[in-house]
Structure 1
Amino acid sequence: MRKLLKPFDLGYEKIHACPNDCCLFRKELQDLDSCPKCRSSRWKIDKVTTKVCKGVPEKVLRYFPVIPRLKRMFKSKEKAEELIWNSKHKSQDHMMRHPVDSVAWDTIDHKWPDFASDPRNLHLGLETDGFNPFGDLSSRYSCWPVILVNYNLPPLLCMTKENLMLTLLIPGLKQLGNDIDVYLETLVEDLKELWDTDVEAYDAFTKSMFNLKAILMWKINDFPAYGNLAGCATKRKLESKGKPRPLNGLKITDALKNIENYWVKKQKGETVNTLRKKQDSSKEVQKPVQRWKKKSIFFDLTYWSGLMLRHNLDVMHVEKNVCENIIGTLLNLKKKSKDDVNARKDLVENIKLPNGYSSNIGNCVSVEEHKLIGLKSHDCHILMQQLLSVALRDLLSKGPLNAIFMLGAF
């Protein structure tokens, strides 16, 4: 089997990683036995004897190189013809049927006409999300696949599972957060090579050699990953620049210009508040804080700062995030009585739904942890739009109730 697959370049690279997601043991760090930042051992440690099992890595990243796979696609005459579908089927009636009809595609053609002049140059999208490969009843493991989508293909082909390119398989146990940039280094290096240097490839359709280039158009992800991947504000503190300005009579864009968002680094024994009052004055003054913004690793791509339309949100995932936050808040309200606890438990534990309508939500209830575990996006869709509006009538006051109703209707 290995002899059969070897000519197709279908292998992958194993790259050892720091257990705390600080670095990858590659290039100048390849021969180290411990992380240079946190000093954690690269190798597994026996929990009983505390003996270091040298040669057995604690964490391994699987990387599937992108460039050989893209070059291999052009070696097939049929596939090479499909990869220039975008140059002949652009919509003429201003209707969008494929990403080639989008504003983002037109922006790329306008900014980089040399890239647009060759229809074989590839337009890629990137998608990532965490999932638990071991079952739905445990949320203590989160594995992260990173997938590339080739938008040069026709609409019926570009999203089929055969054409979704798994490029990274990032192991768990925990959510990666901002440390996902460490694992994206290898992929970003290949994307830089596909843009900045000449990658020679053979086109079986025209029977000629050409320089293959590719651009990453956008990323598709849920709302928490929007902050981790793009460095955008999803859970940061909002502070006003200078004197606060009223929103009345202002356009929303003018009001947003008056807002500065950043993270506040919490020192030992210090609160996170950035405003304090002087003892001899009633005026609030800005407290000097250490602030920073996360810069996405994708800004290492030379074209990324000039590509404005680069983030797409997965709407079903956003609905899932909103639903989980609402239910998590309801299950952890302070000053709740025993009756309230029972009512919240009955809210989801005793729901009876028709077969095929949604998952058995009662099986997702963890009474001990006050959580709902293993909800799918469609389950959250059912909860937000239909079930919560009925179940919360006697549990909440009018203000929060109306807010949740409006969110569900939206």
Structure 2
Amino acid sequence: MSMHTATDMRWHKEKRVDDDVMRHPADGEAWKEFDRTFPEFAADPRNVRLGLATDGFNPYGVLNQHHSTWPIFAFPYNLPPWKCMKKEYMMMTVLITEDPGRSIDVYLRPLVDELKDLWTNGVRTYDKSTGRMFTLRAAVMWTVNDFPAYAMVSGWSTKGYMACPVCKEDVTSGWHAGKVCYLGHRRWLPWDHEWREKDKEFDGNTERRLRPREWSGDEILEQLNRLDFAPFGKTVSRTRPSTHLNWTHKPMFFELPYWSKLKLRHNLDVMHVEKNVFDTLVGTILDIEGKTKDTIKARLDLERMGI
């Protein structure tokens, strides 16, 4: 590591401007909560804060083949925002040669073991900017995935009537236009917001419920410890008990001593969200065949809902 890069690894602590503007993950509440919870780790700005990202793709560019390769990348958030996501600073920690499904934890075992050691013991390394040795520690702040990969790393299935990993069993969902539709978004609005009183403009009902309760990491871990999951392997198939809600497995990340204390454990890749929302809006407004959501099934469901 060059002297300039070694200096930049302290940027989030020494050079970041704290003016209540979100420019870097260090400006976010999840980062600040981590610092308050683990002050010993936060005391040395050289300790590495990592993000993990994974997604599947066909390395041969052949769209009609089902083969996919799943790399898992780690990237350091210590660096300034114009550097931390550059490819020269990314590290490919795992390369999975197939869609791992819920068995992704089998491939993550070596990585998680190293992360546990980096948190507990650290590793002696040389600081080029100061010319001294020090004990470097590391922590994973969160993962970044699209929604299907979210299910793999979080252990919560993102399919079916309880697909929302935030609402969990308190989700509002129903069958609409041949697909499961998720409603109740007005629950997040202020209590006196005028949209709460509108019915026909939304799902045919007024909204008087509060937002779903946010589960803490410790509560999630306690629940997972009470459940009995099938062993890993794609050949294993059994009906999930109702007590499991939408949990498919206990994520291996909970072996990290700090994981249950994180305020934010998983992020959605905004690229996929933007594309899906854009395609839906443009497809519906321009009435593009195959992309519009204004279909016969949708209109019949709206009539059934009284809208």
User: What TM-score, normalized by structure 1, do the two folds share?
Assistant: 0.52
Moved over 6 A (4+): 260-265, 400-403
Contact in 2 for aligned 1:217/1:310 (Cα 8 Å): yes
**Residue 254 of structure 2 is aligned to residue 299 of structure 1:** yes
2:299 aligned partner, one-letter code: G
- The match for 2:281 is 385
Structure 2: runs of 5 or more not aligned? 163-167, 171-205, 216-222, 231-237
Q: Distance in 1 between the 2:160 and 2:87 partners? A: 36
**Residue 292 of structure 2 is aligned to residue 396 of structure 1:** no
Structure 1: runs of 5 or more not aligned? 1-72, 242-246, 266-270, 275-287, 320-376, 404-410
Give the 3-state SS of the residue equivalent to 2:68 in structure 1.
coil
**Residue 57 of structure 2 is aligned to residue 157 of structure 1:** no
**Residue 72 of structure 2 is aligned to residue 146 of structure 1:** yes
Whose relative contact order is higher, 1 or 2, with alpha carbons under 8 Å and at least 6 apart?
A: 2
**Residue 113 of structure 2 is aligned to residue 189 of structure 1:** yes
User: CA offsets per residue over residues 119-174 of structure 1, 9 Å max, x none?
Assistant: 110111000000001114324111001001101111111111111111111112xx
User: CA offsets per residue over residues 59-81 of structure 1, 9 Å max, x none?
Assistant: xxxxxxxxxxxxxx3xx322211
User: CA offsets per residue over residues 258-308 of structure 1, 9 Å max, x none?
Assistant: xx999999xxxxx96x9xxxxxxxxxxxxx868483111100101001112
Q: Distance in 1 between the 2:214 and 2:79 partners? A: 42
- The match for 1:252 is 211
Contact in 1 for aligned 2:280/2:293 (Cα 8 Å): no
- The match for 2:25 is 99
1:85 aligned partner, one-letter code: W
Identical-pair percentage: 41
Contact in 2 for aligned 1:104/1:309 (Cα 8 Å): yes
Give 1:74-223 correspondences, 5 Å limit.
Answer: 76-172=2-98, 175-223=99-147
Q: Distance in 2 between the 1:153 and 1:219 partners? A: 17
Q: Distance in 1 between the 2:120 and 2:229 partners? A: 36
2:52 aligned partner, one-letter code: L
User: CA offsets per residue over residues 162-218 of structure 1, 9 Å max, x none?
Assistant: 11111111112xx22111111111111111111011311111111111110011001
Give the 3-state SS of the residue equivalent to 2:264 in structure 1.
coil
Q: Distance in 2 between the 1:230 and 1:397 partners? A: 33
Q: Distance in 1 between the 2:74 and 2:243 partners? A: 36
1:253 Cα deviation after fit = 2.1
Give the 3-state SS of the residue equivalent to 1:157 in structure 2.
coil
Q: Distance in 1 between the 2:71 and 2:22 partners? A: 29
Give 1:332-371 correspondences, 5 Å limit.
Answer: none
Q: Distance in 1 between the 2:211 and 2:294 partners? A: 35
Query: RMSD across aligned C-alpha pairs, in angstroms?
Result: 3.5
Give the 3-state SS of the residue equivalent to 1:252 in structure 2.
coil
Give the 3-state SS of the residue equivalent to 1:232 in structure 2.
coil
- Name which one, 1 or 2, has greater alpha-carbon Rg: 1
Q: Distance in 2 between the 1:92 and 1:290 partners? A: 45
Q: Distance in 1 between the 2:67 and 2:53 partners? A: 20
Contact in 1 for aligned 2:151/2:158 (Cα 8 Å): yes
Q: Distance in 2 between the 1:255 and 1:133 partners? A: 39
Q: Distance in 1 between the 2:126 and 2:25 partners? A: 26
Q: 1:193 to 1:240 in 2, by over 3 A?
A: closer
- The match for 2:266 is 311
User: CA offsets per residue over residues 96-115 of structure 1, 9 Å max, x none?
Assistant: 11111111110111001111
Q: Distance in 2 between the 1:219 and 1:209 partners? A: 30
